[in-house]
Amino acid sequence: MRKYVLKAIAIKEMKEYFRNPATITMVIMAVGLVTLIGKVIGASQLFMAVLYPMVFLGLYNVAFLFAEEKEKKTLDAILLSPADFGEILLGKLFFHLVITISITILLVVSFHFDEISIIHTFLALTLGSLCLSQLGTVIGIICPTQSMVGVVTTIFMLTFLMSEALSGFNNILAAIARSLPTFHVLKIIDLGLDNRGTIFYYHYIFLIIFIFLIFFWTKSFLVNLCKQESSIWKFSKTNLALSIILALYMAFSSFFFMPVKGKIIHKNGISYYENIEYGLTFPVNDKIFEMKEIRITGKLFITFDLKDQKDSRLFIHISRNKENLTPEKAFEKRLDTLKKENVTDLQTLLKKFNGLKCFRAEYKTKNGFYVTYIITTSSYIFKVGAKTKENTPETLGIVKSELEKNINEIQIQK
């Protein structure tokens, strides 16, 4: 790689970036949306701060500028220059990587500083931005016009954003989310503070392999671009072969990282909910309760709905203990949340069982009656409770008695 060639191409790309109002608009949109959701609405999620700038800047802007150069025929001059295809690709992507990584890091640190490891976040965003910017290059190469780029990138943007946001509600969307490189980016950032277990490094390995596969895939399209004689793209055998390999690898990623679902097991005539991923065993009467599991942005929500009364349930919410909170600190944080929600009739109690210290809270909100236990380990925070609507107080006794009876038998691996 010749540095002066890379520098010349990168400087040209930077000038085009700041000259074009469409690319500046996408920067403003990415920063504005994350800031609006985080500051004004107060509901910022880590995946939003990561994916919005990566997808808007690393995918759309790369594709848009590439298609613009192709339309204006200025790309032909670069392709006919002494620069090889690797130099052209890296030179054009360098500035995009710098601005995408910088803005994404700024947003993530601004809204989620306590939840991340700076080093692993930087590494994950660098690797992820490489993947998305190369995908943007392929879109820009294939699409004959900038308007077509807008249509195609919108489909990809929705795929990246919606599959992650809605993965907990639909198995197909969850499978799609696990197949994408952004899945590994988010997992590395999520696990960065803990840095535990081989699964953390598996995400790094899968993401690095993604980069190499996408690099050769993108390079094959760049080589084929010189052979195109019309605006309608004709796929070469290499394009198709590498596309199939990449698709198979994505399918393998989705299968390999398929989460372990909890299940109802029976021992000695007693039914239990068991989830080996979180080391959790909880007695529950499956004759009167119906189980559901939902995963949303790294959190697991398990509900046990009373079969004849859907507004009454037992529930378990599991989130990662990213701040290394002690049981006392976790409960203080929960109390602050309850006070902000203006709960009434709040009663609290400290309990110990099976070597676990937990805090119990009973309260009333506009949505009904709640009894919750907060159990904290070094890895996770478990919120186990019972809930029923205010207009069905007779069922409170059922779910409350089931909770109080079963909470003493809960098993959590520390």
Q: What is the pLDDT of residues 272-298, one digit of tens each?
A: 999 988 888 999 888 888 888 888 777
Which pLDDT score, from 0 to 100, does residue 195 have?
52
Which pLDDT score, from 0 to 100, does residue 162 have?
83
Which pLDDT score, from 0 to 100, does residue 389 have?
78
Which pLDDT score, from 0 to 100, does residue 244 have?
95
Give the chain's length: 414
Which pLDDT score, from 0 to 100, does residue 270 have?
87
- What is the Cα–Cα distance from 403 to 151, expressed in whole angstroms? 51
Which pLDDT score, from 0 to 100, does residue 43 have?
54
Which pLDDT score, from 0 to 100, does residue 204 have?
93
pLDDT 10s digits, 380-405: 889 999 988 755 666 677 788 888 88
Percent of the chain's residues with pLDDT above 70: 90
- What is the Cα–Cα distance from 54 to 393, expressed in whole angstroms? 48
Identify the bridge partners of residue 380 per DSSP, sorted by sequence position: 320
Which pLDDT score, from 0 to 100, does residue 72 have?
74
Q: Dig out the tokens for 192 from the structure.
A: 């960065």
Q: Dig out the tokens for 327 from the structure.
A: 């049981």
Which pLDDT score, from 0 to 100, does residue 250 have?
95
Which pLDDT score, from 0 to 100, does residue 78 have?
66
Query: E strands along 226-365, which residues?
Result: 263-267, 270-275, 280-283, 289-296, 299-306, 309-320, 344-353, 356-365
Strand order in the sheet with 299-306: 289-296, 299-306, 309-320, 380-388, 368-376, 356-365, 344-353
| Among the listed residues 322, 329, 332, the one whose alpha carbon sits nearest the alpha carbon of residue 378 | 322
Which pLDDT score, from 0 to 100, does residue 245 have?
96
Which pLDDT score, from 0 to 100, does residue 207 have?
94
| Among the listed residues 199, 157, 156, 162, the one whose alpha carbon sits nearest the alpha carbon of residue 177 | 162
Burial profile 79-117: b = 16 or more Cβ within 10 angstroms, e = fewer: eeeebebebbbbbbbbbbbebbbebbbebbeebbeebbb
Cα–Cα distances in Å, from 82 out to 3, 77, 89?
13, 10, 14
State pTM to two decimals: 0.81
pLDDT along the chain (414 residues), means of 10: 70 81 89 81 73 91 85 69 70 85 90 85 93 91 86 90 80 90 90 73 93 91 76 83 95 91 87 88 88 83 84 88 82 82 82 78 85 87 86 70 85 78
Which pLDDT score, from 0 to 100, does residue 394 have?
67
| Among the listed residues 115, 132, 101, 105, the one whose alpha carbon sits nearest the alpha carbon of residue 45 | 115
Which pLDDT score, from 0 to 100, does residue 11 have?
78
